[in-house]
Amino acid sequence: VSAAGFALDPRLAAGSAFVTDWPLVQVRLRHDARFPWLLLVPRRAGVSELHDLDTADRAALGAAVLAATRVVQDVAAPDKINVAMLGNVVAQMHVHVVGRRRVDAAWPGTVWAAGEAVAYAPDALAAALAAYRAACARLAPS
């Protein structure tokens, strides 16, 4: 399976910032300063459900999810990590990896029912991206 024809959904592009490319997936930071929230988007055209990926890509996705949980743990030291693949709004496959704190804006509910996103201030976004990029480089899936 190749990346030919892959194009990031415009809603995913608008709602998040590029962090880095890992094997298979593009890592992005959701534009919501309330939560340490990464998105993993497989660079594959036309994939929506797990069974749309071949065996090698599923293994790579699993490794990327594990690595992303370690990145969020490293950067944000949350109380819990939420991992989800939903796709009800944007069908293009993307995995949410979200650090949660017992005092955050949605706890114990989910981040998808937490109201409007809060934008990062420009310098805060730059600092967050730098922190995630450093952690993604150090903890990249092999």
Q: Which of 33, 66, 117, 134 forms a contact with its own copies (CB under 8 A)?
A: 66
Rounded least distance, CB 58 to its own copies, Å: 7
Alpha carbon distances (Å) from 42 to 23, 123, 126: 9, 28, 24
Rounded least distance, CB 43 to its own copies, Å: 20
State which residue, 26 or 82, has the beta carbon closest to its own copies.
Answer: 82
DSSP per-residue letters across 47-76: --SGGGS-HHHHHHHHHHHHHHHHHHHHHH
127 binds its own copies (CB under 8 A): no
Q: Which of 73, 117, 129, 133 forms a contact with its own copies (CB under 8 A)?
A: 73
- Scanning residues 9 to 38, which ones bind its own copies (CB under 8 A)? none
Q: Which of 13, 45, 84, 130 forms a contact with its own copies (CB under 8 A)?
A: 84
50, with CB counted inside 10 A (0-12, 13-18, 19+), is exposed
85, with CB counted inside 10 A (0-12, 13-18, 19+), is middle
Binding site for its own copies (CB under 8 A): 48-51, 58-59, 62, 65-66, 69-70, 73, 80-89, 91, 100, 107-110, 112-113
